[in-house]
Amino acid sequence: MRRKARTVAAVRLLLVAIAACLLSLAATHARAQTPSVEYAVKATYLYKFAPFVEWPAGAFEPSDPLVICVVGNDPVADLVDEAVKGQAALGHPIEVMHPGASSPDARCHILYVALRGAAAASLLERVRGKPVLTVTDAANEPRATGIVNFVVQDNRVRFEIDLRAAAENHLVISSKLLNLASRVSPKP
Amino acid sequence: MIQERRTEELHGVLGMERRNFMPFVAAAGVLLLLLAGAVIVLYNEQTYREAKTQQVEAQSRILASTVSAALAFDDRKAAHEYVKALAVDPQIQTAAVYGPQGQLFASYSRSADVALPAKISEAAPTPTGEQLVVTTPVRQGMAPLGTVYLQTTIDPISRRFERYAVLALLVTMASLIFVMLGVAQRQLAAANERLRRQGHDLVDANEKLRAQIEQRETAEAALRQVQKMEAMGQLTGGIAHDFNNLLQVIIGSLEVLQRRQQVVGDDAKRTIAAAVRGAERAATLTQRLLAFARRQPLNPKPIDVNKLVTGMSELLHRTLGESITIETVLAGGIWRVNADANQLENALLNLAVNARDAMDKGGKLTIETANTHLDEAYAHTNEIDPGQYVLIAVSDTGAGMPGDVLSKAFEPFFTTKDVGKGSGLGLSQVYGFIKQSEGHAKIYSEPGEGTTIKLYLPRFMASSEATDLPLEACGLPAGQSDRLVLVVEDDADVRAHAVGILNELGYSVLEAADGAAALQALDAHPGIKLLFTDVGLPGGLNGRQLADEARRRCPNLLVLYTTGYARNAIVHQGRLDPGVDLITKPFTFAALATKVNAVFDGREGSHRASAL
């Protein structure tokens, strides 16, 4: 049963990836990326950040799953559940939660903020100092940014990294990830 | 000498081993060197490949590690930069990154003609020829993100072998040294062998030389002995001759006195008899001296030695006494010898007497006869002719002789007997007689072991019968006055003595002092029937020449020689010519009477013989 489920998940991921690839190829040619693909990519990136981030000791119990919390509603938030299905990160299964904006789950390891304005800022303020990788989207709210902030450049999904915010949340970001970031602030 | 030889053998053995082993050792050394070189090359090659593989794997892993984020976040640009960074390694031909589904993500190729697999499946690094392909999975955390593919060239074989050139050079040089060592060793061994052989030759030559020296020394010693004996012989011969003349006078005078019985009394008779005995003993001694000097006149006849020894047995028994047993071992079919039977008996008797004196407490005397052959070597050493000889060996079981006595045993007057017991002339007589008979005498003796004296007499080859004609004296045959005798003698006393005897016997006698006078007398008195002449005469003609001349003038003339010793004039090689009558000085009245009568009676035979 499990194997069958995993196989199904793998096939699904494969399809998504192929689709992404084909789309990205197409985008390269077309020099344009359709919004839906952009959201799918962002949703996929959420769990892909996990291997490049070092949480402080105690943030994970060996049996704990990696918890991705999605707060708010946007096209990305809707796709996250789909994207992480069957995936694992750092040996942990991935669990997606959709807590309310007022009470994000304390177990969140990655928090995707799909809120705008003051709500986003207050949510970000609330998890400051906790070992949570906060991810925001500049397309949603350019002014309230977390540790990682999606941007789109040359029709490609890129991200900026705020090292100070990461340090406040006791997270260490892999230099490999920093190398890929379109902007790292402050300069390391 | 033994030590040398042993060392030599040792050298030989070592040399042999070296000779046999050295080329193999050299060849084995060269082979080992080459093998070691090949092993080192193979090992280096293997090590190089492993190191290269490890290096490429490390590069691949580094790429996989750095490219993981780019792969995860689909950043081809970053990935391409990472891949391109590997271009600084000139050996990397192709570097590529494949996505999680095996699709090509980013790649770099040094040249356009390198084909990249469109998809990749993870596989072990496979070095193929001069290419090395390494693939490494890309992971971040536990998640597989893709695959890194690296293809590098390894150093071309030519460049790798450049590295081995030095090694090859070293191996070659070492091999050359080995080969040269082997060759040098071989030459050394050959030289050693030559040297050893030369050493052998030298030793052989030395041995030969030593043998020759020894042989020569032996021969010289023998020659010295012979010369010494010869010198002694001449000395004793000369003295004996003079003594004989003197004894002739003494004996003759004494006999004259004896016959004039009316003049002497009984007392004087006994004195004269004693003097005669003494003179006769002196005459016997001089006879022996002459015998040693090989100047006694011999009358050789073919004789059977076995018969002679058998005939002597009674005499020997009487001479040796009861305490000594006599054994004779006589060979059958013994050859005859041409010798003077009387002198041979004399010699054997002398030996028997010597043997008796050596065996105080009794013992055994053995007389053996045998046919023998003396070979060249023995004959040469002992200065005799090789050939067939009849051996007469006289052995005793007595005290024997030490070496120094042995070497002088044949010398005259040498004796180990007490003073007055022996003359020291016994063995000298034997030696002289045997030598004069062209034979050979040899003494073998060991102290305490007894003595053997071997007499070799040459085989007589003529076929005439052995005739023993013992000269029997039967009274004193008187002379006849019609028988005119011419006495020729240079010594006046001797001549007077001879004339006196002949006159007394009733012969008519003329006398002459030398050959010329004798010939005048012959011419003046054709009635002379007998020429009685001394062999040695002064004045140009000796006795033989005188006789020949006289016979030429009067063919029927009878001749009787007399001599103190016989020179070649009358005795060829010590032997009496056939048909020649001779009486040796000093002669007695009776001896001369018998002889002269015999000459007249044997006129027919002797005349015929001399005419031949």
What is the set of domains in chain B, with CATH numbers? 2-155 (3.30.450.20), 298-458 (3.30.565.10), 484-611 (3.40.50.2300)
Position B447 pLDDT exceeds 80? yes
The whole-number pLDDT of residue B389 equals: 92
Chain A and chain B share a number of CB contacts under 8 A equal to 51
* Minimum mean pLDDT range among A94-103, B115-124, B324-333, B468-477: B468-477
* Minimum mean pLDDT range among B233-247, B305-319, B559-573: B559-573
Q: Transcribe A64-78 into DSSP letters.
A: PPEEEEEEE--HHHH
Query: Closest Cα to residue B410, out of B418, B419, B401?
Result: B401
Query: Domain for residue A66, yes or no?
Result: yes
Closest alpha carbon within chain B to A180: B70
CB contact under 8 A, A51 and B141: yes
Q: 3-state DSSP call for residue B587?
A: coil
Give backbone dihedrals phi and psi of B598, rounded to 5 degrees, phi first. -60, -40
The per-residue pLDDT for range B92-105, each reduced to its tens digit, is 888 888 888 888 88
Least CB–CB distance from B140: residue in A20, A51, A91: A51
CB contact under 8 A, B78 and A179: yes
Query: Domain for residue A25, yes or no?
Result: no
Question: % helix / strand / coil in chain A, to the nearest 5?
Answer: 40, 25, 35
CB contact under 8 A, B141 and A50: yes
CB contact under 8 A, B73 and A48: yes
| Identity of the highest mean pLDDT range in A11-20, B235-244, B603-612 | B235-244
> Amino acid letter at B10?
L
A105 or B407, which is more confident: B407
Q: Give the separation between CA B599 and CA B592, rounded to whole angstroms.
A: 10
Position B356 pLDDT exceeds 50? yes
Mean pLDDT score, A67-71: 89
Element containing residue B501 per DSSP (H, E): helix B492-505
Mean pLDDT score, B397-412: 81
Minimal Cα–Cα distance from A17 to chain B, Å?
Answer: 9
CB contact under 8 A, A20 and B73: no
| Identity of the highest mean pLDDT range in A157-161, B459-463, B570-574 | A157-161
Position B379 pLDDT exceeds 90? no
The per-residue pLDDT for range B285-301, each reduced to its tens digit, is 888 777 777 777 777 88
Q: How are strands ordered across the β-sheet holding B131-140?
A: B104-109, B92-98, B143-153, B131-140, B126-128
The whole-number pLDDT of residue B4 equals: 47
Q: Half-sphere exposure of B393 toward its Cβ, with a 13 Å CA cutoff?
A: 19
Would you state the structure tokens that stand for residue A44, as one six-digit string?
Answer: 């996929």
CB contact under 8 A, A180 and B78: yes
Least CB–CB distance from A179: residue in B69, B103, B140: B69
Helix ranges (DSSP H) in B302-449: 305-311, 313-320, 341-358, 376-381, 403-408, 426-436
CB contact under 8 A, A48 and B103: no
CB contact under 8 A, A21 and B143: no
B214: pLDDT confidence band, cut at 50, 70 and 90? very high
CB contact under 8 A, A90 and B141: yes
Name every chain B residue with its beta carbon within 8 A of the beta carbon of A159: 73
A134: pLDDT confidence band, cut at 50, 70 and 90? very high
- Residue B455: Cβ-neighbour burial (10 angstroms; 0-12, 13-18, 19+): buried
Number of domains into which chain A is organized: 1
Query: Domain for residue A19, yes or no?
Result: no
The whole-number pLDDT of residue A47 equals: 87
CB contact under 8 A, A51 and B143: yes
The per-residue pLDDT for range B142-170, each reduced to its tens digit, is 778 888 888 888 777 777 777 788 888 88
Model ipTM over 0.90: no
B282: pLDDT confidence band, cut at 50, 70 and 90? confident
| Mean per-residue pLDDT of chain B | 80
Name every chain B residue with its beta carbon within 8 A of the beta carbon of A89: 141-143
Query: Domain for residue A145, yes or no?
Result: yes
CA-to-CA separations, A2 to A8, A84, A104, in angstroms, rounded: 10, 17, 31
Q: Which residues pair with B4 in a beta bridge?
A: none
B554: pLDDT confidence band, cut at 50, 70 and 90? confident
The whole-number pLDDT of residue B572 equals: 55
The per-residue pLDDT for range A42-64, each reduced to its tens digit, is 888 888 888 888 888 877 777 78
Name every chain A residue with its beta carbon within 8 A of the beta carbon of B66: 176
A interface with B, Cβ–Cβ < 8 A, is 14, 17-18, 20-21, 24, 41, 45, 48, 50-52, 87-91, 159, 174, 176-177, 179-180
Instruction: Give me the torsion for CA of B569, B573, B576, B582, rounded to 10°.
Output: 50
The whole-number pLDDT of residue A9 equals: 60
Q: Give the separation between CA A92 and CA A59, rounded to whole angstroms.
A: 13
CATH number of the domain that residue A128 is part of: 3.40.50
Position A188 pLDDT exceeds 60? no
Return the percentage of chain B with pLDDT > 70, whole number: 85
| Identity of the highest mean pLDDT range in B195-204, B446-455, B538-547 | B195-204
Query: Domain for residue A21, yes or no?
Result: no
Q: Half-sphere exposure of B13 toward its Cβ, with a 13 Å CA cutoff?
A: 5
Closest alpha carbon within chain B to A87: B143
The whole-number pLDDT of residue A26 equals: 46
* Number of alpha helices (DSSP H) and beta strands (DSSP E) in chain A: 6, 10
CB contact under 8 A, B75 and A50: no
DSSP B611: H
The whole-number pLDDT of residue A11 equals: 61
Mean pLDDT score, B537-542: 79
Give the start-end residues of each E strand in B545-594: 558-563, 571-572, 575-576, 581-584
CB contact under 8 A, B140 and A176: yes
The whole-number pLDDT of residue B590 equals: 79
| Identity of the highest mean pLDDT range in B22-31, B123-132, B316-325, B560-569 | B316-325
B interface with A, Cβ–Cβ < 8 A, is 65-66, 68-70, 72-75, 78, 99-101, 103, 140-143
CB contact under 8 A, A20 and B74: yes
Closest alpha carbon within chain A to B64: A176
Position B210 pLDDT exceeds 90? yes
Q: Transcribe B412-458 into DSSP letters.
A: TT---SPTTT--S-HHHHHHHHHHHTT-EEEEEEETTTEEEEEEEEE
The per-residue pLDDT for range B506-528, each reduced to its tens digit, is 888 888 888 888 888 888 888 88
Mean pLDDT score, A158-178: 90
A103 or B73, which is more confident: B73
Name every chain A residue with its beta carbon within 8 A of the beta carbon of B143: 51, 87-89
Q: Give the separation between CA B427 and CA B454, rounded to whole angstroms.
A: 12
CB contact under 8 A, B69 and A52: yes
Minimal Cα–Cα distance from A120 to chain B, Å?
Answer: 25
Query: Domain for residue A90, yes or no?
Result: yes
- Residue B402: asked if its preceding bond is cis (omega within 30°), the reply is no
Query: Closest Cα to residue B250, out of B611, B494, B511?
Result: B494
Query: Domain for residue A160, yes or no?
Result: yes
A14 or B465, which is more confident: A14
Closest alpha carbon within chain A to B101: A14
Name every chain A residue with its beta carbon within 8 A of the beta carbon of B99: 17, 21
B428: pLDDT confidence band, cut at 50, 70 and 90? confident
Position B1 pLDDT exceeds 50? no
Position B607 pLDDT exceeds 50? no
The whole-number pLDDT of residue B611 equals: 33
**What is the extent of the structural domain holding A51?**
33-185
Mean pLDDT score, B128-132: 73
Q: Give the separation between CA B28 and CA B178, rounded to whole angstroms.
A: 9
Query: Domain for residue A43, yes or no?
Result: yes
